[in-house]
Amino acid sequence: MTKILFHICCAPCAIYPYSRMREDGLEPVGFFYNPNIHPYQEYKKRLDTLKDFSVRVGLDVLYRDDYDLDGFLLRVAGKGAMRCEQCYRMRLNAAGEAAARGRFSAFTTTLLYSKRQKHDLIRGVAQEMAAEHRVEFYYEDFRHGWREGIVESKAMGLYRQQYCGCIYSEWERYRK
């Protein structure tokens, strides 16, 4: 099996991509690095839920558990619509770096699963990071399994968040 580093933002978003990669004969190894998640209690819930999920399905996960809120805010503050790109760059750079350091054949991300993320931007940034770190980027449009992942995460009783994780998306959620 080919080992692939699998950046994971949260357990519910990992379900469908994980199963797809396994079906394709890949051996995903999770990678959790998400300094964008706010507040800290939300970060902790997502981290703990991923730990629970990984035990249930037998997924090995590498945790970069440094809650770099300052670094995230410095990178995205005042960027307006460009803040998502900066967030993607921060996390996908870390994933590409970890994949190269760990000698994985490629890396991918759960960000490609969400219908609410900027899919083409994620793909472009991931391809840039792959080139920069001299590692392949595994692309698949995981949005095809959106409904399946939701149903399965509910059946598993996993914590399901209602926003991407950043302070801006939380604010947008409540201001409506």
Q: How far is CA 176 from CA 3, 37, 94, 154, in A?
A: 42, 20, 33, 25
Per-residue buried b or exposed e for 46-85, using 16+ beta carbons within 10 Å of the residue's own CB: bbebbeebbeeeebebbeeeeebbeebeebbeeeeeebbb
* pTM metric for this prediction: 0.94
Q: What is the pLDDT of residue 1?
A: 63
> Which residues have C-beta within 8 Å of that of residue 117, sequence separation ≥ 6?
84, 111, 164
| Chain mean pLDDT for the chain | 95
What does the pLDDT look like over 59-118, one tens digit per residue? 999 999 988 999 999 999 999 889 999 999 999 999 999 999 999 999 999 999 999 999
